[in-house]
Amino acid sequence: MKKQEIKNKLETVKKGAYTNIIFLSDIISNKDNKEHRIQKLVKAVVRLGVTYSHINVEEIQARPIEAGEAEKLPWGEWDQDCDCLISHKDNYYLRCTVSRSPKHHRIVSYLLDGRPATKEEVMPLTRASEWAPKTKEEYVFNPKIENVLALGKEAK
């Protein structure tokens, strides 16, 4: 999606409300399999526009965040027009908070050279770091807006 398309969609989403998202991202191949294009398709329920200083869950942060400090980013800048977008090196990213509701499950599927593939098929073709276990669950992620295929009702 383009920046204006995302902004138009965000106008229909209540700040902090649960919404659906579908995005497609590339997975980096290992040096022996550069001829393959490997992609990950993710369908998830997220929250957009969450004020991060209000998220004081121990699993999310090691220490409470002071108001104002939450707005600082370790990379990129908040977009002036939209509090869900981050700009960095001529790219825009959509700031998403993962739903922790047990009824919301992330669905991940894979594509190998444009055809559906299993995780087991694509794992040996990619860098091991792509599959390294996370030290803690990610509660916030930022897909590039160009990778967002659907947002809101159209993403069901």
Q: Give me the tens of pLDDT residue by residue for the chain, a chain 156 residues long.
A: 888 888 888 888 888 888 999 999 999 999 999 999 999 999 999 998 776 555 555 444 444 444 444 567 888 998 888 888 999 999 999 988 888 888 888 899 999 999 999 999 999 999 988 888 776 667 788 999 999 999 988 887
Range of the domain at 50: 3-155
pTM: 0.81
What pLDDT score was predicted for residue 64?
Answer: 45
| C-beta neighbour count of 143 within 10 angstroms | 20
What pLDDT score was predicted for residue 51?
Answer: 65
What is the tally of structural domains in the chain? 1
